Structure 1
Amino acid sequence: MEKYAVVVAGGSGMRMGTAVPKQFLPLRGKPVLWYTLTAFLDSFPDMQIILVLPEQYLETGKEILRSTYDPNRIWMTIGGETRFHSVRNGLQHIKKHSIIFVHDGVRCLLTPGLIRRCFDGAVDKGNAIPAIKAVDTIRIETVNGNMQIDREKVRIIQTPQTFFSDLIKSAFEQDFHESFTDEASVVEKLGVKINLIEGESSNIKITRPLDLLIAERVLEEREMGL
């Protein structure tokens, strides 16, 4: 089965408070995005990666690709106005029947093991969305104020969100809607049941300076075999 990862890295550095977008910030001597790409390269020897970047950062992207151990399995395309449009741009480059992973470029701590579990889940049920249980008390805003909800029924959604190519490519033929906050929401709009699998608590999204500190610690522990 052909395998393609669409890695979306079109974010800015606004919440990080840096001039450089967070996907390019240094993490233990390498850009954040380098770790994301390496995890996918390590997951399957035949994994192909489509990296979606803002046009003004294509040269930076090329430098990162050249620093990986197998740049021939990675190519780039330009992002769009929203995440939805960026993913659609990436999907247009995939012509073969395959399993497609869509991943946030700044979730740089994902493991090859998670990628392989997503593959198995998608092959089995058509799609696989990694998720973890909520550990905090959850309250939801209502017209009457707010109310506590059962956190045991809450799942925090991660990426890579993984689908058969025919399914996700068909879903992305729809017009954009504000409710499309991730790929699962786009596919679900077709009436498809979403299959959740166990994610990884370390699979955080690098958004704020604290996240970089956490990522450094996680990578350090992995290097030490902890």
Structure 2
Amino acid sequence: MQYDVILPAAGSGKRMAAGKNKLFLELRQKPILIHTLEVFQQDEACKGIWLAVKPEERSYIESLLAEFHITKVKGLPDGGSERQHSVNACVKKVKDGNIVLVHDAARPFITIPIIHKLVEAAHTKGAAIAGVRAKDTMKRVKDGVIEETVDRSSLWMIQTPQAFDFQVLKCAEQRAEEEHFLGTDEAMLVERLGQSVYIVESSYENVKITTKEDLVFGEAILSQRIGG
């Protein structure tokens, strides 16, 4: 089943403290953004990529797309000050969507089999998100004091992609915009509609490159996957 994917790429990456968009940092001589885009470029089920960008970075990103032969990008609308605004800008550009994924541009290690499981789940159930089971002991803390130990058997660490029936996502984004509600992710907006969101088990390798330490993890994952 075919799908479109939205990648918000207009963030500041303050925690990376790189002095530039972290998506332009390189792993194995290739920008993180391109590593991510290549996954969807290579997936025959992906019919279009929508990339929300900063206006001042658009020309550079266009040059990267040309250099690395990324041909599936259908549009590069202006991103917003918040992730949700960037996603909404792309949703407004998608005209004929069926299943739409939202994926962190800084998660370059997602795999096509997991993507396809999410697409199928969104097709049959309306909404599905990637996640992994919590491995560590979880504590609820208030004012620096542990209040309780939380049963981790029901806790999941949420990743992306998050996959939705397009009309469900569009309705959720419209309602949030009208009510000036800012959520932590797209699933939260969909949950506000009363729509159930299902979990698809992902991989612990599907890390988001956020800090300098994550670059080390990223190099290690690439070394394992391609050798060297």
Q: 2:188 corresponds to which residue?
A: 185
Equivalent pair of 1:13/1:21 in contact (CA under 8 Å) = yes
Cα distance in structure 1, aligned partners of 2:97 and 2:33: 27
Instruction: Work out the CA distance in 2 between the residues paired with 1:139 and 1:183.
Output: 26
How many Å apart are 1:97 and its aligned residue? 3.8
Residue 200 of structure 1 corresponds to which residue in structure 2?
203
Larger displacement relative to structure 2 (71-80 or 18-27): 71-80
Shift of 1:166: 0.6
- 2:72, 2:199 → 1: CA distance? 32
- Contact 2:26-2:32 at 8 Å conserved across structures: yes
Moved more, 36-45 or 142-151: 142-151
Q: CA deviation at 1:54?
A: 1.4
- 1:173 paired residue number: 174
Structure 1 stretches (4+) deviating beyond 3 angstroms?
Answer: 142-145
Provide the TM-score with structure 2 as the length reference.
0.92
Superposition TM-score, scaled by structure 1 size: 0.93
CA distance, structure 2, for counterparts of residue 63 and residue 212 of structure 1:
23
Whole-angstrom CA distance in 2 between matches of 1:90 and 1:168: 11
CA distance in 1, matches of 2:117, 2:193: 24
Matched, 1:162 2:166: no
1:79 aligns with 2:79: yes
**1:47/1:73 contact within 8 Å kept:** no
**Separation in structure 2 between the aligned mates of residue 96 and residue 74 of structure 1, nearest angstrom:** 12
- Give identity over the alignment, percent: 32
Q: Tell me, yes or no, if structure 1 residue 43 matches structure 2 residue 43.
A: yes
Deviations 1:119-170 (A, max 9, x none): 1111121111011011111111348753210111110000010001010001
Amino acid at match of 2:130: P
Q: For residue 60 of structure 2, what is the amino acid of its counterpart?
A: T
Could you tell me which residue of structure 2 aligns to residue 152 of structure 1? 153
- One-letter amino acid of the structure 2 residue matched with residue 113 of structure 1: P
Stretch deviating more after TM superposition (27-36 or 37-46):
37-46
Superimposed CA distance per residue, residues 28-71 of structure 1 (whole angstroms, 9 cap, x where no aligned partner):
10100001101111222542000111122112211221133342
- Corresponding letter in the other structure for 1:160: P
Unaligned ranges ≥5, structure 2: none
The CA distance in 1 between the partners of 2:46 and 2:121, in whole Å, is 18
1:222 corresponds in structure 2 to 225
RMSD over equivalenced CA pairs, Å: 1.8
Provide the residue aligned with 2:31 in structure 1.
Answer: 31
Decide whether the 8 Å contact of 1:2 with 1:97 is kept in 2: no
Shift of 1:171: 0.6
Which ranges of structure 1 fall in alignment gaps of 5 or more residues? none
